[in-house]
Amino acid sequence: MAEERKAATSALSSPPSHDPASLHANRNRLSFTNGGGSVSETAFAGRIGGNQEFVADDEELLKRQPDAAPISTIQDALRLDGFRNIELWRMAIIEGWGTFLLISCLGAGASGLTMLGPSTSQFAATLYAAAFNVIGLTLFIFSAAPASGGHLNPTITIATFFAGLCTLPRAILYVVAQCFGAIIGGYWLKLGLGDVSFPAGVIPGCTVDPTLVSPGQLFVLEYLFSQALIFTAFGVGLDPRQGKVFGPALSPVLVGFTLGFGTLASSLAKPGYTGISFNSARCLGLMVAKGDMQYHYVHWLAASSAAILNGLFYHFAPPYVRGKPRSAVVGVGTGV
């Protein structure tokens, strides 16, 4: 116990880097005690985006927790002490505000795409949508990441929780704030656009043609693309060690491209299917404002199932073992 406390103290008192956000990161490292135990969680849930630190430079931390996740046990992840920490509430508010702005802006673009004339092909509209998603998500991640981690998406938050990268209090506060922000964004967009808001009744990435797509088919497609995007997002940005591979400034761009890739791959997959939702809060906000909740439960069920399975893989087959890449430890390519 004494060694663990010493190691935790060392991790918390590690010297700040010259990174512009390092002071913010060290100041906002969250810690709380209960029954003699201690849980520490960095301000950057999932460690994605912007100028943040990736919490992977402390070799002692890597030895104790090979995946550099601040939450080491299920009991620590489920502890409710975090609800009393004001910093978590502040970061949740930032997540809600960022989600409100993101959904409003991307929703306006999606609504405009549904009004393109017959001269615009479906493929061209899909390219426009992918570009909106890449540019919009990248910029918003850069903006929100230094303060909250830049999730802006319940699927990402749920995935980081099941991967052991954030606690239950953070996950709950973030998801609630994201949903609340998305609903406000949906109504705000409707207030500004009026009847022009998705005039054909189709919300790209949310509603489908029920005569061509069944709930079961929607689940299969949503699960497939959500799993692929979560896997890719973890690979290019959410795993803490990717800071050394891509650098913290490139990861948000790559995560934005994962959404663009998902949009391109899914939008043309099946007649009647308008593309992946991935961000359940987006569909919640836009569909509530539109007054059409068609199959919305499938969006949550599919994305959450993908997030849970990703967490299982992350724990049982972690990409890093004893602080080194798994391929280096198991001897991939050497016949070992």
| CA-wise closest residue to 245 among 321, 165, 325 | 325
**The pLDDT of residue 76:** 72
pLDDT mean for each 10 residues of the chain (336 residues) = 45 36 35 45 42 45 45 71 85 94 93 78 86 91 83 92 84 95 95 85 91 95 94 75 63 86 91 92 94 94 94 72 48 41
User: Among all chains, which residue has been given the structure tokens 């896997």?
Assistant: 231
Q: What's the confidence (pLDDT) of residue 186?
A: 94
| pLDDT in the model for residue 160 | 85
Q: 10 Å Cβ neighbour count for 232?
A: 18
What top-level class would CATH report for the domain 77-316?
A: mainly alpha
CA distance 278 to 299: 7
Q: What's the CA gap between 177 and 318, in Å, rounded? A: 30
281-313 tens-digit pLDDT: 999 999 999 998 999 999 999 999 999 999 888
pLDDT at 198: 87
Nearest to 45 by CA among 179, 121, 156, 128: 156
- Strand extents, DSSP E, the chain: 30-34, 37-41, 320-321, 324-325
**Measured between alpha carbons, how far is 8 from 123 in angstroms, rounded to an integer?**
53
Q: How much is the pLDDT for 333?
A: 43
Q: Which pair of tokens denotes residue 27?
A: 């100041």
CA dist., res. 301 & res. 222, Å (int):
9
User: For residue 17, what are the contacts with CB-CB under 8 A and spacing of at least 6?
Assistant: 53, 57
Q: Using CA of residue 187, residue 192, residue 198, residue 203, what is the dihedral sign?
A: negative
Domain boundaries, the chain: 77-316
pLDDT confidence of residue 161: 87
Q: Which of 84, 331, 114 is nearest to 207 (CA)?
A: 114
Q: Are 290 and 197 in contact (CB under 8 A)?
A: yes
